[in-house]
């Protein structure tokens, strides 16, 4: 009798011969790039540094495509976007100390947004490890400790033979739901040391599925089938698990209205009769969700933005499907189902009963009409016109990446993403500078379609160096910079809170002249010509910049 664990794959004669006589001139860096190739990676992002040169030298002996950015934080944002767009783990190669630490803000965003980033950093030589202060360049007392509170998992390498398994384990961790960033650390001497280890070939690092418990989905299906006023909140987990089709089928089967979170943009058709769209910062939407007798929350932790700044207080039964165990019932008591959104929605589709509610679409229309009336009463036609111009010009299948700026805050609520996984922002961690480098990462993933980046002038200053990256690689990114002379949203916050703003006004360059100095075509536009100028930029190969001088205002909040 043969058991599964007795089955061992036997190498072929050719494989045995190749393993016994590996090519000369290889080192630990080659093991890194060979492992990445064996796992299926095709593109890596990063920035070289002294202790990491073994990895970067090995790139020239590999088939991996390298996209180098000018600042590590921006390289992290690019890898984040690549991971979001492709669903693959995006390798990010970093050096020690300052280079590694510069990536932390980007990795925090990747963690908050569940983007699979495989960060591989170097370390001082092994002789400098162990807690002593040896005075090596870039030396930190405990480098991995700087990452441990941010990433999903930390994988430390101390010998060359550990490299393939450590990277494979990190890859699996990054791609296990919920996706997220991981950290691998390899000392300089290990990367540089010659190796006679066989060439790394195909690696198996298939992540485990996060499967819902059937007794929980049975209870959830019964609650939804017998609900009088069901409603659904669809979060980013629906997009990341490619479950938009399942969500649509379930909503139609239940006649349940659906609101998408800012991270879940595009998860549900914007103009569908059951679509409450994304007006989560509006009390009319909050009231409607509170009135649901059964509220299904899929792929969302109902955090600050998704709960109208924690003013949301559900009165009915809550069912929460969430792959991140830490988010399960973290804000509201619920029937918590720890699972990947796609698998859980599939289970519900098989078990819920059809229900008809002719009043559901009417209720949705009433909520949206009340929201529109509130917005229209605030004389914000400029903001709505600009957002409509962006939507008109942007191709439906083109991804967009939004920095933390007033136009992005409008887009969270009011922009029709039209397709799943096409609208992304830094609303997870909320750091400035995300939009442009993230768009570069998306363009590297798929250069066949134009990509939009949206920044304010303050956020744009974080990323200006990456104009060189865009030009060097010819990436088709159109960068819309809304120039209001400062940190616009902070200006509003401070004026509202204190009567005047401090530290929000900024000197800035002539963005058009600056872009042109990099060899990037640029134009200064107006609200009247914005749609036309964006359309021309999207049609042009390579990068371009469109600068819109405009002072925008936010719609009034409803949570205060």
Beta bridge partners of 482: 456, 548
Residue with tokens 């536009």: 525
What does 287-311 look like in DSSP terms, one character per residue?
Answer: HHHHH-SEEEEES----TTTTTTTT
Q: Which of 364, 429, 441 is nearest to 403 (CA)?
A: 429
pLDDT tens figures, 300-348: 999 999 999 999 999 999 999 999 999 999 999 999 999 999 999 999 9
**Region of residue 217 (phi > 0: left; psi between -120 and 50: alpha; otherwise: beta):** alpha
* CB distance 436 to 453 below 8 Å: yes
What DSSP state is assigned to residue 27?
A: B
Q: Check: CB of residue 167 under 8 Å from CB of residue 118.
A: yes
* Closest alpha carbon to 422 in 75, 76, 84: 84
Count the neighbouring beta carbons within 10 Å of the beta carbon of residue 210. 20
Structural domains of the chain ordered from first start: 22-192 (3.40.50.970), 214-368 (3.40.50.1220), 378-549 (3.40.50.970)
d(CA 414, CA 394): 15
Are residues 182 and 120 in contact, defined by beta-carbon separation less than 8 angstroms?
no
Q: Enter the pTM of the model.
A: 0.94
Do 390 and 417 contact (CB within 8 A), yes or no?
Answer: no
Among residues 255, 210, 247, the alpha carbon closest in space to that of 230 is found at 255
Q: What are phi and psi for residue 258, nearest 5 degrees?
A: -130, 130
Q: Is the peptide bond before 178 cis (omega within 30 degrees of 0)?
A: yes
Query: Of 411, 437, 459, which Cα lies nearest the Cα of 117?
Result: 437
Query: Cα torsion at 80, 85, 90, 94 (round to 10°)?
Result: -30
Ordered DSSP codes for 431-490: -TT-HHHHHHHHHHH-TTS-EEEEEEHHHHTTTTTHHHHHHHHT--EEEEEEE-SB-HHH
Q: Is the dihedral of CA 83, 86, 89, 91 positive or negative?
A: negative
- Per-residue pLDDT at 5: 46
Per-residue model confidence (pLDDT) at position 79: 98
- Euclidean distance between CA atoms 199 and 392, whole angstroms: 51
Say what the pLDDT of residue 19 is. 59
Q: In what order do the strands lie in the sheet with 477-483?
A: 423-425, 400-402, 451-456, 477-483, 544-549, 522-524
d(CA 457, CA 483): 5
CB 113 within 8 A of CB 264: no
Report pLDDT digits (tens) over 154-178.
999 999 999 999 999 999 999 999 9
**20: exposed, middle or buried (C-beta count within 10 Å: 0-12, 13-18, 19+)?**
exposed
What local confidence, expressed as pLDDT, does residue 2 receive? 44
Give ∠ CA 50-55-60 in degrees, rounded to 5: 115
Task: Name the helix (H) or strand (E) containing 53.
Answer: helix 53-59
Q: What is the pLDDT of residue 309?
A: 93
**What stretches of 62-193 show up as alpha helix (H) in DSSP?**
72-86, 98-101, 104-113, 143-148, 163-175, 188-192
What are the phi and psi torsion angles at 109 (to 5°)? -65, -40
What pLDDT does residue 123 have? 87
Q: Using alpha carbons only, what angle is made at residue 176 by residues 170 and 177, rounded to the nearest 5 degrees?
A: 145
Cβ burial, residue 381 (10 Å; 0-12/13-18/19+): exposed
Kindly give, in sequence order, each residue whose CB lies less than 8 Å from that of residue 21, ignoring residues fewer than 6 positions away.
Answer: none
Q: What is the pLDDT along the chain (560 residues), one digit of tens a residue?
A: 444 445 455 666 555 555 556 788 899 999 999 999 999 999 999 999 999 999 999 999 999 999 999 999 999 999 999 999 999 999 999 999 999 999 999 999 999 999 999 999 998 887 767 776 777 778 888 899 999 999 999 999 999 999 999 999 999 999 999 999 999 999 999 999 999 999 998 888 999 999 999 999 999 999 999 999 999 999 999 999 999 999 999 999 999 999 999 999 999 999 999 999 999 999 999 999 999 999 999 999 999 999 999 999 999 999 999 999 999 999 999 999 999 999 999 999 999 999 999 999 999 999 999 999 999 999 999 999 999 999 999 999 999 999 999 999 999 999 999 999 999 999 899 999 999 999 999 999 999 999 999 999 999 999 999 999 999 999 999 999 999 999 999 999 999 999 999 999 999 999 999 999 999 999 999 999 999 999 999 999 999 999 999 999 999 999 88
- Closest residue by Cα to residue 437 from 486, 383, 473: 473
DSSP state of 358: T
Residue length of the chain:
560
d(CA 263, CA 366): 24
pLDDT, position 203: 86
């Amino acid at each position: 009798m043969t058991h599964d664990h007795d089955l061992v794959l036997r190498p072929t004669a050719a494989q045995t011969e190749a393993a016994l006589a590996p090519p000369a001139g290889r080192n630990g860096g080659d093991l890194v790039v060979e492992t990445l190739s064996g796992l299926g990676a095709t593109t890596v992002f990063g920035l070289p540094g002294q202790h990491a040169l073994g990895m970067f030298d090995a790139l020239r002996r590999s088939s991996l495509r390298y996209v180098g950015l000018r600042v590590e934080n921006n390289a992290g944002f690019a890898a984040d976007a690549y991971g979001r767009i492709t669903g693959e783990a995006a390798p990010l190669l970093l050096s020690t100390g300052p280079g590694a630490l510069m990536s932390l803000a980007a990795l925090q965003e990747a963690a908050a947004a569940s983007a699979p980033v495989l960060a591989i950093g170097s370390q001082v030589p092994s002789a400098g490890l162990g807690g002593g202060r040896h005075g090596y360049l870039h030396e930190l007392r405990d480098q991995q400790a700087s990452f441990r509170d941010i990433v999903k998992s930390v994988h430390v390498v101390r010998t060359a033979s550990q490299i393939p398994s450590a990277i494979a384990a990190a890859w699996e961790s990054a791609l296990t739901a919920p996706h997220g960033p991981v950290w691998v650390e390899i000392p300089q001497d290990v990367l540089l040391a010659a190796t006679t280890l066989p060439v790394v070939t195909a690696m198996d690092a298939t992540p485990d599925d996060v499967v819902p418990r059937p007794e929980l989905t049975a209870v959830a299906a019964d609650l939804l089938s017998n609900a009088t006023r069901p409603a659904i909140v669809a979060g980013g987990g629906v997009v990341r698990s490619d479950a938009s089709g399942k969500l649509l089928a379930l909503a139609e089967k239940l006649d349940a209205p659906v609101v998408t979170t800012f991270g879940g943009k595009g998860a549900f058709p914007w103009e569908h009769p059951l679509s409450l769209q994304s007006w989560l910062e509006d009390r009319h939407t909050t009231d409607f969700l509170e009135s649901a007798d059964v509220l299904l929350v899929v792929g969302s932790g109902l955090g600050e933005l998704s709960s109208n700044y924690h003013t949301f207080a559900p009165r009915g039964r809550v069912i929460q499907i969430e792959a991140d165990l830490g988010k399960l019932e973290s804000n509201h008591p619920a029937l918590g189902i720890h699972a990947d959104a796609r698998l859980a929605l599939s289970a519900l589709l098989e078990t819920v009963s059809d229900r008809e509610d002719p009043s559901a679409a009417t209720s949705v229309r009433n909520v949206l009409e009340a929201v529109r009336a509130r917005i229209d009463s605030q004389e914000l036609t400029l903001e709505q016109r600009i957002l409509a111009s962006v939507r008109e010009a942007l191709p439906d299948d083109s991804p967009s990446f939004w920095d933390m700026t007033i136009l992005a805050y409008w887009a969270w609520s009011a922009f029709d993403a039209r397709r799943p996984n096409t609208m992304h922002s830094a609303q997870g961690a909320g750091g400035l500078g995300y939009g442009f480098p993230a768009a570069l990462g998306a363009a590297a993933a798929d250069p066949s379609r134009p990509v939009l980046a949206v920044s304010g002038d303050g956020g744009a200053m974080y990323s200006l160096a990456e104009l060189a990256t865009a030009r060097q690689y010819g990436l088709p990114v159109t960068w819309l910079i809304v120039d209001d002379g400062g940190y616009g949203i902070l200006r509003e916050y401070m004026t509202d809170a204190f009567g005047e703003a401090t530290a929000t006004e900024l000197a800035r360059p002539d963005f058009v002249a600056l872009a042109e100095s990099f060899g990037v075509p640029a134009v200064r536009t107006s609200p009247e010509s914005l749609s036309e100028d964006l359309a021309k930029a999207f049609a042009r190969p390579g990068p371009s910049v469109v600068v819109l001088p405009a002072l925008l205002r936010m719609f009034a909040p409803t949570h205060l």
